[in-house]
Protein backbone atom coordinates (compact mmCIF):
# COMPACT_ATOMS: atom_id res chain seq x y z
CA UNK A 1 0.00 0.00 0.00
CA UNK A 2 1.50 3.37 -1.05
CA UNK A 3 1.50 6.56 0.98
CA UNK A 4 -1.46 8.10 -0.85
CA UNK A 5 -3.63 5.03 -0.24
CA UNK A 6 -2.74 5.13 3.46
CA UNK A 7 -3.82 8.77 3.69
CA UNK A 8 -7.13 8.06 1.97
CA UNK A 9 -7.75 5.08 4.22
CA UNK A 10 -6.95 7.16 7.32
CA UNK A 11 -9.33 9.94 6.26
CA UNK A 12 -12.13 7.45 5.62
CA UNK A 13 -11.54 5.78 9.00
CA UNK A 14 -11.65 9.17 10.72
CA UNK A 15 -14.90 10.09 8.99
CA UNK A 16 -16.44 6.76 9.96
CA UNK A 17 -15.47 7.35 13.59
CA UNK A 18 -16.94 10.87 13.56
CA UNK A 19 -20.18 9.56 12.08
CA UNK A 20 -20.37 6.84 14.74
CA UNK A 21 -19.72 9.36 17.51
CA UNK A 22 -22.33 11.79 16.24
CA UNK A 23 -24.87 8.98 15.79
CA UNK A 24 -24.41 7.69 19.31
CA UNK A 25 -24.36 11.15 20.82
CA UNK A 26 -21.26 10.44 22.88
CA UNK A 27 -17.53 10.12 22.43
CA UNK A 28 -16.04 6.77 23.32
CA UNK A 29 -13.06 7.15 25.65
CA UNK A 30 -10.34 4.50 25.66
CA UNK A 31 -8.57 3.59 28.89
CA UNK A 32 -5.50 1.54 28.03
CA UNK A 33 -3.77 -0.91 30.35
CA UNK A 34 -0.09 -0.05 30.86
CA UNK A 35 0.96 -3.09 32.86
CA UNK A 36 3.16 -5.86 31.54
CA UNK A 37 3.61 -9.62 31.65
CA UNK A 38 5.01 -9.43 35.20
CA UNK A 39 1.51 -8.80 36.53
CA UNK A 40 -0.29 -5.97 38.31
CA UNK A 41 -3.56 -5.32 40.10
CA UNK A 42 -6.57 -4.10 38.14
CA UNK A 43 -7.23 -1.45 40.81
CA UNK A 44 -3.74 0.04 40.51
CA UNK A 45 -4.54 3.40 38.92
CA UNK A 46 -0.93 3.90 37.82
CA UNK A 47 -1.30 0.96 35.46
CA UNK A 48 -3.96 2.73 33.44
CA UNK A 49 -3.30 5.40 30.83
CA UNK A 50 -5.95 7.75 32.25
CA UNK A 51 -4.59 7.31 35.78
CA UNK A 52 -7.74 5.67 37.10
CA UNK A 53 -9.44 2.30 36.78
CA UNK A 54 -11.97 2.02 33.92
CA UNK A 55 -15.26 3.71 34.70
CA UNK A 56 -18.45 4.89 33.04
CA UNK A 57 -18.47 4.48 29.26
CA UNK A 58 -14.73 3.90 28.85
CA UNK A 59 -13.49 1.11 26.63
CA UNK A 60 -10.74 -1.10 28.03
CA UNK A 61 -7.85 -1.83 25.66
CA UNK A 62 -4.95 -4.23 26.18
CA UNK A 63 -2.28 -3.49 23.59
CA UNK A 64 0.88 -5.00 25.07
CA UNK A 65 2.12 -8.23 23.59
CA UNK A 66 1.49 -10.03 26.89
CA UNK A 67 -0.31 -8.75 29.98
CA UNK A 68 -1.11 -10.30 33.35
CA UNK A 69 -3.86 -8.65 35.41
CA UNK A 70 -5.05 -9.58 38.91
CA UNK A 71 -8.79 -9.06 39.48
CA UNK A 72 -10.08 -9.57 43.02
CA UNK A 73 -13.31 -7.62 42.79
CA UNK A 74 -16.40 -7.32 40.59
CA UNK A 75 -15.70 -5.16 37.54
CA UNK A 76 -18.41 -3.68 35.32
CA UNK A 77 -17.46 -2.61 31.81
CA UNK A 78 -20.09 -0.72 29.84
CA UNK A 79 -18.26 -0.54 26.52
CA UNK A 80 -16.42 -3.82 26.27
CA UNK A 81 -12.87 -5.09 26.52
CA UNK A 82 -10.56 -5.34 23.49
CA UNK A 83 -7.43 -7.46 23.24
CA UNK A 84 -4.82 -6.37 20.70
CA UNK A 85 -1.85 -8.19 22.18
CA UNK A 86 -0.81 -11.80 21.92
CA UNK A 87 -1.83 -12.89 25.39
CA UNK A 88 -3.88 -11.58 28.31
CA UNK A 89 -4.04 -13.57 31.55
CA UNK A 90 -6.60 -12.68 34.21
CA UNK A 91 -5.90 -14.07 37.68
CA UNK A 92 -7.49 -13.61 41.07
CA UNK A 93 -10.95 -14.26 42.52
CA UNK A 94 -12.93 -11.57 40.74
CA UNK A 95 -15.69 -11.23 38.18
CA UNK A 96 -15.84 -9.16 34.99
CA UNK A 97 -19.29 -8.17 33.73
CA UNK A 98 -19.87 -6.71 30.28
CA UNK A 99 -23.27 -5.12 30.71
CA UNK A 100 -23.97 -2.68 27.90
CA UNK A 101 -27.32 -3.41 26.22
CA UNK A 102 -25.81 -2.90 22.74
CA UNK A 103 -24.77 -6.38 21.67
CA UNK A 104 -21.56 -5.59 19.79
CA UNK A 105 -20.30 -3.44 22.66
CA UNK A 106 -20.66 -6.35 25.08
CA UNK A 107 -18.21 -8.40 23.05
CA UNK A 108 -14.67 -9.28 24.02
CA UNK A 109 -12.85 -9.46 20.69
CA UNK A 110 -9.92 -11.88 20.58
CA UNK A 111 -7.90 -10.67 18.75
CA UNK A 112 -8.80 -7.11 17.81
CA UNK A 113 -6.16 -6.61 15.13
CA UNK A 114 -6.00 -7.54 11.45
CA UNK A 115 -3.65 -10.51 11.58
CA UNK A 116 -3.39 -10.90 15.32
CA UNK A 117 -2.94 -13.96 17.48
CA UNK A 118 -4.47 -13.44 20.90
CA UNK A 119 -5.39 -15.63 23.85
CA UNK A 120 -7.43 -14.84 26.95
CA UNK A 121 -6.62 -17.01 29.97
CA UNK A 122 -8.84 -17.13 33.06
CA UNK A 123 -7.42 -18.51 36.30
CA UNK A 124 -8.21 -18.86 40.00
CA UNK A 125 -12.02 -18.60 40.24
CA UNK A 126 -12.18 -15.66 37.87
CA UNK A 127 -15.41 -15.39 35.88
CA UNK A 128 -16.45 -13.50 32.77
CA UNK A 129 -20.01 -12.73 31.68
CA UNK A 130 -20.41 -11.66 28.07
CA UNK A 131 -20.02 -12.54 24.41
CA UNK A 132 -16.62 -13.90 23.41
CA UNK A 133 -15.77 -13.30 19.75
CA UNK A 134 -12.79 -15.28 18.45
CA UNK A 135 -11.47 -14.05 15.08
CA UNK A 136 -14.78 -12.30 14.41
CA UNK A 137 -13.90 -8.63 14.11
CA UNK A 138 -13.88 -8.95 10.33
CA UNK A 139 -10.52 -7.83 8.99
CA UNK A 140 -10.82 -9.94 5.85
CA UNK A 141 -7.90 -12.24 6.58
CA UNK A 142 -7.72 -15.93 7.38
CA UNK A 143 -4.57 -15.32 9.42
CA UNK A 144 -6.63 -13.98 12.35
CA UNK A 145 -6.62 -16.42 15.28
CA UNK A 146 -8.13 -16.10 18.74
CA UNK A 147 -8.43 -18.46 21.67
CA UNK A 148 -9.71 -18.54 25.23
CA UNK A 149 -8.44 -20.84 27.99
CA UNK A 150 -10.34 -21.62 31.19
CA UNK A 151 -8.22 -23.02 34.01
CA UNK A 152 -8.63 -23.95 37.67
CA UNK A 153 -12.17 -23.00 38.77
CA UNK A 154 -12.79 -20.18 36.32
CA UNK A 155 -16.07 -19.74 34.46
CA UNK A 156 -17.51 -18.02 31.41
CA UNK A 157 -21.18 -17.46 30.62
CA UNK A 158 -22.51 -16.08 27.36
CA UNK A 159 -22.51 -16.36 23.59
CA UNK A 160 -19.54 -17.93 21.80
CA UNK A 161 -18.85 -16.53 18.32
CA UNK A 162 -16.07 -17.88 16.10
CA UNK A 163 -15.13 -16.66 12.62
CA UNK A 164 -16.69 -14.28 10.16
CA UNK A 165 -17.54 -14.85 6.51
CA UNK A 166 -16.02 -18.31 6.79
CA UNK A 167 -12.52 -17.22 7.73
CA UNK A 168 -10.55 -16.98 10.96
CA UNK A 169 -9.57 -19.53 13.59
CA UNK A 170 -11.08 -19.78 17.06
CA UNK A 171 -10.25 -22.26 19.80
CA UNK A 172 -11.67 -22.81 23.29
CA UNK A 173 -9.71 -24.81 25.90
CA UNK A 174 -11.54 -25.86 29.06
CA UNK A 175 -9.33 -27.38 31.76
CA UNK A 176 -9.30 -28.20 35.48
CA UNK A 177 -12.66 -27.64 37.19
CA UNK A 178 -13.71 -24.73 35.01
CA UNK A 179 -17.16 -24.27 33.48
CA UNK A 180 -18.16 -22.68 30.19
CA UNK A 181 -21.91 -22.08 29.88
CA UNK A 182 -22.55 -21.40 26.19
CA UNK A 183 -25.93 -19.69 25.83
CA UNK A 184 -25.56 -19.08 22.09
CA UNK A 185 -23.42 -20.51 19.29
CA UNK A 186 -22.39 -18.32 16.35
CA UNK A 187 -20.04 -20.48 14.30
CA UNK A 188 -19.39 -18.90 10.91
CA UNK A 189 -16.26 -20.77 9.86
CA UNK A 190 -15.80 -22.65 6.60
CA UNK A 191 -13.21 -25.33 5.88
CA UNK A 192 -13.03 -24.20 2.22
CA UNK A 193 -12.12 -20.65 3.28
CA UNK A 194 -9.54 -21.62 5.86
CA UNK A 195 -11.71 -21.10 8.92
CA UNK A 196 -11.74 -23.35 11.97
CA UNK A 197 -13.78 -23.57 15.17
CA UNK A 198 -12.79 -26.01 17.91
CA UNK A 199 -13.94 -26.52 21.50
CA UNK A 200 -11.46 -28.63 23.49
CA UNK A 201 -13.09 -30.02 26.65
CA UNK A 202 -9.98 -31.37 28.35
CA UNK A 203 -11.35 -30.90 31.86
CA UNK A 204 -14.23 -29.25 33.62
CA UNK A 205 -17.61 -28.92 31.94
CA UNK A 206 -18.94 -27.28 28.82
CA UNK A 207 -22.67 -26.70 29.10
CA UNK A 208 -24.35 -25.89 25.80
CA UNK A 209 -27.67 -24.24 26.67
CA UNK A 210 -28.71 -22.69 23.37
CA UNK A 211 -32.29 -21.98 22.43
CA UNK A 212 -31.72 -23.25 18.88
CA UNK A 213 -30.77 -26.80 17.96
CA UNK A 214 -27.19 -27.14 19.35
CA UNK A 215 -26.18 -29.88 16.89
CA UNK A 216 -26.84 -27.95 13.67
CA UNK A 217 -23.86 -25.53 13.91
CA UNK A 218 -21.39 -28.42 14.17
CA UNK A 219 -23.03 -30.49 11.43
CA UNK A 220 -23.12 -27.54 9.02
CA UNK A 221 -19.38 -27.56 8.19
CA UNK A 222 -16.37 -29.86 8.74
CA UNK A 223 -14.36 -26.95 10.18
CA UNK A 224 -16.28 -27.19 13.48
CA UNK A 225 -15.43 -29.79 16.09
CA UNK A 226 -15.94 -30.83 19.70
CA UNK A 227 -12.86 -32.53 21.21
CA UNK A 228 -13.43 -34.32 24.53
CA UNK A 229 -10.73 -35.50 26.95
CA UNK A 230 -10.99 -38.08 29.71
CA UNK A 231 -11.41 -35.40 32.38
CA UNK A 232 -13.95 -33.30 30.52
CA UNK A 233 -17.74 -33.36 30.24
CA UNK A 234 -20.01 -31.95 27.58
CA UNK A 235 -23.56 -31.37 28.78
CA UNK A 236 -26.05 -30.39 26.08
CA UNK A 237 -29.31 -29.11 27.55
CA UNK A 238 -32.08 -28.92 24.98
CA UNK A 239 -35.64 -30.24 24.74
CA UNK A 240 -34.97 -31.97 21.42
CA UNK A 241 -36.50 -35.46 21.56
CA UNK A 242 -34.14 -38.17 22.73
CA UNK A 243 -34.45 -40.07 19.44
CA UNK A 244 -33.32 -36.97 17.51
CA UNK A 245 -30.43 -36.45 19.92
CA UNK A 246 -29.41 -40.03 19.30
CA UNK A 247 -29.44 -39.55 15.53
CA UNK A 248 -27.55 -36.24 15.78
CA UNK A 249 -24.74 -37.57 17.99
CA UNK A 250 -24.24 -40.49 15.60
CA UNK A 251 -23.82 -38.05 12.71
CA UNK A 252 -21.34 -35.99 14.72
CA UNK A 253 -19.23 -39.08 15.36
CA UNK A 254 -19.51 -40.42 11.80
CA UNK A 255 -18.42 -37.08 10.32
CA UNK A 256 -15.62 -36.52 12.89
CA UNK A 257 -17.29 -33.43 14.33
CA UNK A 258 -17.28 -35.09 17.76
CA UNK A 259 -13.94 -36.75 18.54
CA UNK A 260 -11.84 -37.82 21.51
CA UNK A 261 -8.70 -35.94 22.51
CA UNK A 262 -5.36 -37.66 21.77
CA UNK A 263 -4.91 -40.71 24.01
CA UNK A 264 -8.64 -40.95 24.73
CA UNK A 265 -11.74 -42.59 23.29
CA UNK A 266 -15.39 -41.60 23.45
CA UNK A 267 -17.89 -43.38 25.67
CA UNK A 268 -21.56 -43.98 24.75
CA UNK A 269 -23.44 -40.79 25.72
CA UNK A 270 -26.21 -40.51 28.27
CA UNK A 271 -29.32 -39.46 26.35
CA UNK A 272 -32.48 -37.97 27.83
CA UNK A 273 -35.28 -35.85 26.40
CA UNK A 274 -34.04 -32.72 28.16
CA UNK A 275 -30.28 -33.24 28.01
CA UNK A 276 -27.34 -35.32 26.81
CA UNK A 277 -23.98 -35.98 28.50
CA UNK A 278 -20.85 -36.79 26.50
CA UNK A 279 -17.64 -38.13 28.11
CA UNK A 280 -14.41 -39.85 27.12
CA UNK A 281 -11.96 -42.16 28.85
CA UNK A 282 -8.28 -43.05 28.73
CA UNK A 283 -7.84 -45.40 25.79
CA UNK A 284 -5.64 -47.66 27.94
CA UNK A 285 -8.69 -48.64 29.99
CA UNK A 286 -10.15 -52.09 29.38
CA UNK A 287 -13.31 -51.58 27.37
CA UNK A 288 -15.10 -53.55 24.66
CA UNK A 289 -15.92 -50.31 22.84
CA UNK A 290 -12.58 -49.50 21.21
CA UNK A 291 -13.53 -48.49 17.66
CA UNK A 292 -15.89 -46.00 16.05
CA UNK A 293 -17.93 -48.92 14.69
CA UNK A 294 -18.32 -50.41 18.17
CA UNK A 295 -19.26 -47.01 19.59
CA UNK A 296 -21.98 -46.45 16.98
CA UNK A 297 -23.32 -49.96 17.63
CA UNK A 298 -23.45 -49.22 21.37
CA UNK A 299 -25.34 -45.98 20.71
CA UNK A 300 -27.87 -47.90 18.58
CA UNK A 301 -28.63 -50.08 21.60
CA UNK A 302 -29.38 -47.13 23.89
CA UNK A 303 -33.11 -47.30 24.74
CA UNK A 304 -35.07 -44.16 23.99
CA UNK A 305 -38.10 -43.67 26.22
CA UNK A 306 -41.00 -41.77 24.75
CA UNK A 307 -42.61 -39.09 26.86
CA UNK A 308 -46.04 -40.09 25.55
CA UNK A 309 -45.86 -43.43 27.39
CA UNK A 310 -45.83 -41.73 30.78
CA UNK A 311 -48.93 -40.44 32.52
CA UNK A 312 -49.36 -36.74 31.78
CA UNK A 313 -50.03 -34.60 34.81
CA UNK A 314 -51.22 -31.11 35.64
CA UNK A 315 -49.23 -30.15 38.74
CA UNK A 316 -49.66 -33.14 41.04
CA UNK A 317 -53.14 -34.04 39.70
CA UNK A 318 -53.54 -36.74 37.05
CA UNK A 319 -55.54 -35.86 33.96
CA UNK A 320 -59.18 -36.90 33.67
CA UNK A 321 -58.53 -39.79 31.28
CA UNK A 322 -55.95 -41.36 33.57
CA UNK A 323 -58.18 -40.91 36.61
CA UNK A 324 -61.19 -42.49 34.92
CA UNK A 325 -59.09 -45.42 33.78
CA UNK A 326 -58.09 -46.00 37.40
CA UNK A 327 -61.73 -45.70 38.50
CA UNK A 328 -62.81 -48.33 36.00
CA UNK A 329 -59.74 -50.57 36.32
CA UNK A 330 -61.75 -53.12 38.32
CA UNK A 331 -64.31 -53.31 35.53
CA UNK A 332 -62.73 -54.16 32.15
CA UNK A 333 -66.09 -54.00 30.43
CA UNK A 334 -66.58 -50.42 31.52
CA UNK A 335 -63.15 -49.32 30.28
CA UNK A 336 -63.86 -50.82 26.87
CA UNK A 337 -67.27 -49.16 26.53
CA UNK A 338 -66.56 -45.63 27.71
CA UNK A 339 -67.63 -43.14 25.03
CA UNK A 340 -65.38 -40.11 24.73
CA UNK A 341 -65.68 -36.50 23.64
CA UNK A 342 -62.01 -35.53 23.03
CA UNK A 343 -60.31 -36.91 26.11
CA UNK A 344 -63.39 -36.67 28.39
CA UNK A 345 -66.03 -39.48 28.62
CA UNK A 346 -69.70 -38.54 28.34
CA UNK A 347 -71.41 -38.44 31.70
CA UNK A 348 -74.44 -40.43 30.59
CA UNK A 349 -72.35 -43.21 29.00
CA UNK A 350 -70.08 -43.42 32.02
CA UNK A 351 -72.99 -43.66 34.43
CA UNK A 352 -74.69 -46.32 32.33
CA UNK A 353 -71.55 -48.42 32.14
CA UNK A 354 -70.83 -48.02 35.81
CA UNK A 355 -74.39 -48.98 36.59
CA UNK A 356 -74.44 -51.95 34.17
CA UNK A 357 -71.26 -53.40 35.66
CA UNK A 358 -72.14 -52.80 39.28
CA UNK A 359 -73.28 -55.69 41.50
CA UNK A 360 -76.66 -53.97 41.94
CA UNK A 361 -77.53 -54.22 38.22
CA UNK A 362 -75.90 -57.55 37.39
CA UNK A 363 -77.93 -60.59 36.35
CA UNK A 364 -80.30 -61.57 39.09
CA UNK A 365 -80.27 -58.13 40.71
CA UNK A 366 -84.12 -58.05 40.54
CA UNK A 367 -84.17 -60.27 43.57
CA UNK A 368 -82.29 -57.70 45.67
CA UNK A 369 -84.17 -55.05 47.58
CA UNK A 370 -84.78 -51.80 45.71
CA UNK A 371 -83.45 -49.79 48.66
CA UNK A 372 -80.03 -51.48 48.39
CA UNK A 373 -79.80 -50.75 44.67
CA UNK A 374 -80.76 -47.12 45.21
CA UNK A 375 -78.17 -46.74 47.95
CA UNK A 376 -75.36 -48.02 45.72
CA UNK A 377 -76.42 -45.76 42.84
CA UNK A 378 -76.47 -42.78 45.18
CA UNK A 379 -72.98 -43.70 46.30
CA UNK A 380 -71.72 -43.79 42.71
CA UNK A 381 -73.28 -40.38 41.96
CA UNK A 382 -71.80 -38.77 45.07
CA UNK A 383 -68.34 -40.21 44.31
CA UNK A 384 -68.40 -39.11 40.68
CA UNK A 385 -69.68 -35.64 41.60
CA UNK A 386 -66.84 -35.24 44.09
CA UNK A 387 -64.31 -36.21 41.41
CA UNK A 388 -65.71 -33.67 38.94
CA UNK A 389 -65.65 -30.93 41.58
CA UNK A 390 -61.99 -31.67 42.38
CA UNK A 391 -61.02 -31.64 38.72
CA UNK A 392 -62.79 -28.33 38.04
CA UNK A 393 -60.43 -26.66 40.51
CA UNK A 394 -57.60 -27.22 38.06
CA UNK A 395 -57.50 -24.30 35.61
CA UNK A 396 -56.03 -26.47 32.87
CA UNK A 397 -58.81 -29.09 33.13
Terminal-to-terminal C-alpha distance of the chain: 74
Query: Is residue 309's pLDDT more than 80?
Result: no
Over residues 166-194, the mean pLDDT reads 95
Cβ atoms of residues 54 and 62 within 8 Å: no
Cβ atoms of residues 338 and 321 within 8 Å: no
**pLDDT at residue 380, rounded to an integer:** 63
Number of Cβ within a 10 Å radius of residue 257: 21
**pLDDT at residue 353, rounded to an integer:** 55
Per residue in 100-134, pLDDT (tens digit) is 544 555 789 898 876 678 999 999 999 999 899 99
**pTM > 0.75: yes or no:** no
**β-strand partners of 107:** 131
- CA dist list (Å): 235 to 23, 179, 311, 386: 42, 11, 27, 46
Per residue in 336-383, pLDDT (tens digit) is 443 444 444 444 554 555 445 544 444 444 444 445 555 566 666 666
**pLDDT at residue 78, rounded to an integer:** 84
**pLDDT at residue 375, rounded to an integer:** 59
CA 91 to chain centre: 26
Using DSSP, state whether 352 is helix, strand or coil.
helix
Cβ atoms of residues 360 and 368 within 8 Å: yes
- Smallest Cα–Cα separation from 60: which of 87, 78, 73? 78
Query: Is residue 395's pLDDT more than 60?
Result: no
The average confidence (pLDDT) of the chain is: 79
Instruction: Look at strands 275-282 and 270-271 and give their pairing.
Output: antiparallel
Query: Is residue 141's pLDDT more than 50?
Result: yes
**pLDDT at residue 391, rounded to an integer:** 63
**pLDDT at residue 376, rounded to an integer:** 61
Query: Is residue 328's pLDDT more than 80?
Result: no
**pLDDT at residue 221, rounded to an integer:** 98
Q: For 344, phi and psi rounded to 5 degrees?
A: -110, 125
Lowest mean pLDDT among 67-81, 219-233, 266-280, 350-364: 350-364
Per residue in 53-80, pLDDT (tens digit) is 998 889 999 999 899 999 999 998 888 8
From CA 61, how far away is CA 57, in angstroms rounded? 13
Query: Is residue 52's pLDDT more than 50?
Result: yes
Compute the Cα dihedral for 63, 64, 67, 70 and give only its sign.
negative
Amino acid sequence: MNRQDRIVKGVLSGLAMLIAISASGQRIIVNQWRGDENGADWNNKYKWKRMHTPEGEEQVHFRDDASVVTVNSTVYLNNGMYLYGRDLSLVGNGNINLRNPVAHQQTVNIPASAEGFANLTLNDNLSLNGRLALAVKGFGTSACKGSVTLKDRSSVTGVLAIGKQGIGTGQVFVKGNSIYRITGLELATSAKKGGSAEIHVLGGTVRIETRDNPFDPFLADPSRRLIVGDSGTVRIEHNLHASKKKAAVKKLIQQDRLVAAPGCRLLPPVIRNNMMIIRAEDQRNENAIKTKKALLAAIDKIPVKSVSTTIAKVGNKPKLESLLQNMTSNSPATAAKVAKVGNKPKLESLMQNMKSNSPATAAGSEAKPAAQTGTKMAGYIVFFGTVLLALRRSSKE
